[in-house]
């Protein structure tokens, strides 16, 4: 029997002011009437950190950090600054790889910094449409995992997010997700981890219409949700499907 934690992670991206985040969390907190079995994480913009949140049932995460602990990096935020305000850090999101040229090597440095400060990284990996069409899924995932996890010996949460499914409304099929998640577990085994122990989330146009079916897939340990997480009732419905899947 599998013994992995399940997650429902909201990635607000560059959306919601501080007061909108507080309203969202207050509402979400009031909708949850039992102690969640699902690890429920909300990642607002960094400007929302430090506000009074109802965080007994909900964990807070951030969407990025700089790999350095301090220094002359104008406009950047270090782990020390978010340390007591968040428990999770999304790393390697495809939007950061694409728009901010984040390399696997840079993501690896960030990951090591996050682990040093005992926060939990959520490492995003996934292939582009071109890589899928060229039969390069395995090669891409292997490269991302082995480079991002170099010199890392603790288990980290992985989010499989095919780039072509993020924000496009085009969810990957169950077959594609199962195949990719199994591939990821095998690669993790090959590079020295115990793949069976690592939670792998799916991300890419998850919504309340597809979440119920996707969470029944054996290898799916929850979701990383962008667009659909901005509406609190929508996010709550997805969380409920995960909760009911235990
Ligand atoms: C994401 O931002 O990680 C994501 C999966 O976005 P969306 O759910 O909008 O596709």
For atom 4 of ligand 1, the residue with the nearest CA is 226
Considering only CA atoms, which of 113, 53, 117, 119 is closest in space to residue 86? 119
- Average pLDDT of the chain? 95
What are the distances in angstroms from CA 148 to CA 112, 158, 237?
A: 9, 11, 32
Q: Please name the residues in contact with 16: beta carbons below 8 A apart, sequence gap of 6 or more.
A: 24, 44, 45, 48, 230
The atom number, within ligand 1, closest to the CA of 165 reads 10
Q: Is 162 in the pocket of ligand 1 (CB under 6 A)?
A: no
Distance from the alpha carbon of residue 166 to the mean position of ligand 1, in angstroms: 5
Query: Cα–Cα distance between 40 and 230 in angstroms, integer?
Result: 14
Instruction: Pick out the chain residues at pLDDT < 50.
Output: none
Give the residue whose CA is nearest to atom 3 of ligand 1: 226
Q: In whole angstroms, give the CA distance from residue 17 to residue 53.
A: 14
Model confidence pLDDT, tens digit, residues 41-84: 999 999 999 888 877 899 999 999 999 999 999 999 999 999 78
Q: What is the 3-state secondary structure (H, E, C) of 192-216?
A: CCCHHHCCEEEECCCCCCCHHHHCC
């Amino acid at each position: 029997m599998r013994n992995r934690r399940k997650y429902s992670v909201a990635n607000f991206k560059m959306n919601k002011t501080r007061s909108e985040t507080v309203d969202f969390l207050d509402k979400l907190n009031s909708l949850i009437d039992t102690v969640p079995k699902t690890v429920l994480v909300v990642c607002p913009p960094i400007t929302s950190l430090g506000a009074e949140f109802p965080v007994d049932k909900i964990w807070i995460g951030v969407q990025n950090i700089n790999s350095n602990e301090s220094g002359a990096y104008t406009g950047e935020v270090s782990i020390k600054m978010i340390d007591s305000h968040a428990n999770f850090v999304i790393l390697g999101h495809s939007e950061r790889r694409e728009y901010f040229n984040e390399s696997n090597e840079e993501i690896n440095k960030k990951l090591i910094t996050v682990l040093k400060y005992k926060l939990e990284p959520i490492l995003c990996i996934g292939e582009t449409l071109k890589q899928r069409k060229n039969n390069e899924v395995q090669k891409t995932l292997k490269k991302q995992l082995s480079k991002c996890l170099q010199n890392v010996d603790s288990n980290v949460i992985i989010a499989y997010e095919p780039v072509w499914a993020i924000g496009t409304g085009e969810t990957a099929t169950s077959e594609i997700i199962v195949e990719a998640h199994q591939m990821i577990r095998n690669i993790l085994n090959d590079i020295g981890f115990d793949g069976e122990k690592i939670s792998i989330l799916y991300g890419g146009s998850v919504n309340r219409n597809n979440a119920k079916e996707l969470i029944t897939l054996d290898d799916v340990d929850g979701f990383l949700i962008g667009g659909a997480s901005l509406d609190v009732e929508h996010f709550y419905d997805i969380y409920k499907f995960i909760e009911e899947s235990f």
